Structure 1
Amino acid sequence: MFQYFYHMQRYLIKDILLVNEGKIVPTDVLIEGERFGKIAPQIQVKTQVTEIDGHGKYLLPGIIDDQVHFREPGYTHKATIHTESRAAVAGGVTSYMEMPNTYPPAVKLEILQQKYEIAARHSLANYSFYLGAANHHQDEILRLNAHRHEICGLKIFMGSSTGELLVDDISTLENIFASCELPITTHCEDEALIRLRLQQARAQKGEALTAADHPWIRNEEVCYRSSSFAVSLAKRYGTRLHVLHLTTADEMHLFSADIPLAEKQITAEVCVHHLHFTADAYSKLGNLIKCNPAIKAAHHREALWQALLEGRIDVIATDHAPHTWEEKQQPYLQAPAGLPLVQHGLLLMLEYFRNGKISLEQIVEKMCHHPAICFQIRDRGFVREGYFADAVIVDMQGTTPVDKEHLFYKCKWSPFESHRFPARISHTFVSGHLAYVEGKFNESQMGKRLLFNR
């Protein structure tokens, strides 16, 4: 096994089933240095190469997760860029885009640069970081525009945040949508309505609220009021908008499947936990699945699946958001929102493939190709000659247990504990570097900063 770690620059993957660009084809794949060198049947190589037998396995482009929270700096008791990027790579995620609600919040480019410096030293996966919007830092938007090739986008919390990162002033939002030349990503929940519904819930139940009350407090109207407003702003100003973690049937008509993705100005994302859990799961998992926006009733989940498969929703992500076990054991009102998912997002979707809900080609489209197209990521997201060699080998004959021994999150818990996924990730390549193989990491090389064709 360890021979792979000593021949890091040239790999020949033989007789693999390549899932790429809407097809599954048997082929060989040659990785030379950081990039795919050749993709063809029966490749013969005269020079030294490390050969990997891919017979019976699948090769996917590396997963691009457009929404994660790795907590560094400021909350490193929950997670670090090092620990969570390792978990990402173990889950087949080769590139991620990380959110600004760290401490201090990343609302200035100087703070953002510190995160890039940490990642350059410690991230096993490729990386980019969002700048956070704020009511009182609009001058940063103009500075951000000059870095459109180097930064994934601007994140606006239109609800469900605190301090500098909550943008709830309408004139500020209009100025941001009018001036930002990078993709704007939004967390869409109406903060005023959340506060009102929380006040009503407390009037009825006092401090006895539980996680089961979460989807009532953060209901369909909370989401729709905000997302419809964001879409209206994007249409008014011609802004490139990507709406994150949709959760309701009500919102689906806001998005279109009528034009090619590369031509869309307004795109949408769904997260794996909203495709999997329903509100019924609060009775068993409680605060462990408390997240914002809330997991809702089963008919909303089915509407998300329908919109995903028909093309209204463009991207599948995780919104990986770890907290410590102790934090999650607090009463509902004190327990933080978010759950760790980046290690198991692909495996969960592969389980839905096994159950006939989604095809392998669609998984690759929504988790690899589409994030690359949405954000115009340079030379990634596809298995193409000359592209960076971000790739995952999946064994559909294997299984993956979810237990503490096999969890790489710093928080060391998962909502899927005691479950066994009916697939296994055997190898993960990050920019040509074999970063993970058969449960072992090779951290002799870190991931690279993502660049964008804008």
Structure 2
Amino acid sequence: MSKKTMLIKNANIVNEGTIFNGDILIEGEYIKEISSSISAKSADVHVFDAEGKYVLPGAIDDQVHFREPGLTHKANIETESKAAIAGGITSFIEMPNTNPQSTTIEKLEEKFDIAAKTSSANYSFMFGGTNDNLDEILKVDEKNVAGLKLFLGSSTGNMLVDDLDVLEKIFKSTNMVISLHCEDEATIKKNFKEHLDKYGDDIPVKYHPVIRSEEACYLSSSKAIELAKKTGARIHVFHLSTAKETSLFSNKIPLKDKKITSEVCVHHLWFTDQDYEEKGTFIKWNPAVKSQKDKDGLWDALLDDRIDVIATDHAPHTLEEKQNVYTKAPSGGPLVQHALPAMLEMHHKGKISIEKVVEKMCHNPAILFQVEKRGYVKEGYFADLVLVDLNNPWTVNKDNILYKCGWSPFEGATFKSRITHTFVNGSLAYKNFKFYDVNAAKRLTFNR
């Protein structure tokens, strides 16, 4: 059977800091040619007119929780990967704190097997570190696994790595990117006890950023960076939430040469502590959404390249779970369907260029994790492409939310930009709230 061939005409292609009008020839899974004008060489080429829409590389989300196995009442790989491609995210890296946890090679491969059968987006998984699984960490094949995830605060099960000797050994023993959740557990416990003694279980949610404070974040991040400098480890600090932490990171060298990198999530760029009154526990995340000053500091660091990546930390819980009182309402929320539209909304507000959105959501995750042949609109690369209409407003509501949990912190928000088509490995997987070829996804590989 011959490879399917598709020609996308009249597209505003966004890639590597430029936007240019041109055509893209896709042959099979790959981009064959990009040029200002390409003509179809035969009748069996499917010609698709982009009508001047923007064509972006598919986004790569380096931090999601898709809840499978073990927590599938909240979400699963099938439902959330569909929501992801509807949001222009064509590849994801999922976290190890499922049930059972991905802290052995056997459990990790079980997740890869599930994704091979059910994922609509390209996939990889992080291996989880604990205080006592160094032997398993050393068995991980770094060409086929995204990286290592360590919780230095706010973990589930036995995944809190709080033994400093173990942490140093892990830092010294792997070449993989070590992704970190940095919040100081002792500081949080002390703050939590003070508020629990005062309010009982029904702590007003506005105190969440007081409990999970700037101090807790900075203390943990700065210690991790100090250890990374001592050991030469390659670390990536997830979901920065404070302006203070941004001073720990540098923009002096290119991303590919950095040993210490960072990420910011969409919710920390969008919400502030002023939103707790309206949104309540629906914007309860760890680390917490903090002040306007923190949000401004995160934007500054993102735009001057101290922060390298925009991600989601997509972490769905059921509506029922989120509506509990503070101490019983879990932290986290679903974001993959709305992250790119939200960032494009920030473009409309003059906050960020489309080229910069693409850099932070597509190019940089590919560079940072050395993802093979993805994250760019380039000849020879996989045809993971997203078509965006920048002027086609839509409002987030229950009828168009695709997460299994059925809610979104963005409910009621109107986005000017609409993702109209998503191609995964050259196949049309999504078009205007309908799914098509959702079996084209592949396991990510890494050029290491």
TM-score, L = length of structure 1: 0.97
| Aligned equivalents of 1:16, 1:8: Cα separation in 2 | 23
Q: How does 1:262-281 map to 2 (within 5 A)?
A: 262-281=256-275
8 Å CA contact 1:120–1:446 kept in 2: the answer is: no
RMSD of equivalent CA atoms: 1.1
| Aligned equivalents of 1:400, 1:298: Cα separation in 2 | 27
How big is the shift at 1:9? 2.6
Call closer, same or farther: CA 1:444–1:323 in 2, change over 3 Å: closer
- Residue in 2 that maps onto 1:97: 93
- Residue in 1 that maps onto 2:155: 161
* 416-425 or 63-72, which deviates more: 416-425
Q: Which amino acid aligns with 1:65?
A: D
- Residue in 1 that maps onto 2:328: 334
Q: Which amino acid aligns with 1:182?
A: M
How big is the shift at 1:15? 0.8
Q: Does 1:19 align with 2:14?
A: yes
* 13-22 or 435-444, which deviates more: 435-444
- Residue in 1 that maps onto 2:23: 28
| Aligned equivalents of 2:48, 2:298: Cα separation in 1 | 38
How big is the shift at 1:444? 5.1
- Residue in 1 that maps onto 2:425: 431
Call closer, same or farther: CA 1:8–1:201 in 2, change over 3 Å: farther
8 Å CA contact 1:16–1:56 kept in 2: the answer is: yes
Structure 1 stretches of at least 4 aligned residues deviating more than 4 Å after TM superposition: none
Q: 2:359 aligns with which of 360, 365, 369?
A: 365
- Residue in 1 that maps onto 2:350: 356
- Residue in 2 that maps onto 1:318: 312
Per-residue deviation, residues 249-290 of structure 1 (Å, max 9, x unmatched)? 111111000101111011100000000000011111111010
8 Å CA contact 1:156–1:167 kept in 2: the answer is: yes
Q: Does 1:150 align with 2:130?
A: no
How big is the shift at 1:204? 2.3
- Residue in 2 that maps onto 1:4: none
How big is the shift at 1:172? 1.0
- Residue in 2 that maps onto 1:240: 234
Per-residue deviation, residues 296-330 of structure 1 (Å, max 9, x unmatched)? 01100000000000000000000000000000011
- Residue in 1 that maps onto 2:107: 111
**Identity over aligned pairs, percent:** 55
| Aligned equivalents of 1:444, 1:398: Cα separation in 2 | 24
TM-score, L = length of structure 2: 0.98
Q: Does 1:381 align with 2:375?
A: yes
Q: Does 1:78 align with 2:87?
A: no
How big is the shift at 1:230? 0.9
Q: Which amino acid aligns with 1:13?
A: I
How big is the shift at 1:55? 2.1
How big is the shift at 1:420? 1.4
Structure 1 unmatched ranges of 5 or more: 1-6
How big is the shift at 1:8? 8.8
Q: Does 1:10 align with 2:5?
A: yes
- Residue in 1 that maps onto 2:41: 46
| Aligned equivalents of 2:302, 2:199: Cα separation in 1 | 37
| Equivalent position SS for 2:41 | coil
Per-residue deviation, residues 385-432 of structure 1 (Å, max 9, x unmatched)? 000011100001212321111111000000111221101101101111
Q: Which amino acid aligns with 2:398?
A: K
How big is the shift at 1:100? 0.5
- Residue in 2 that maps onto 1:132: 128
Q: How many residues align?
A: 446
Q: Which amino acid aligns with 2:119?
A: S
| Aligned equivalents of 2:142, 2:428: Cα separation in 1 | 30
Per-residue deviation, residues 1-28 of structure 1 (Å, max 9, x unmatched)? xxxxxx9932111111000000000000
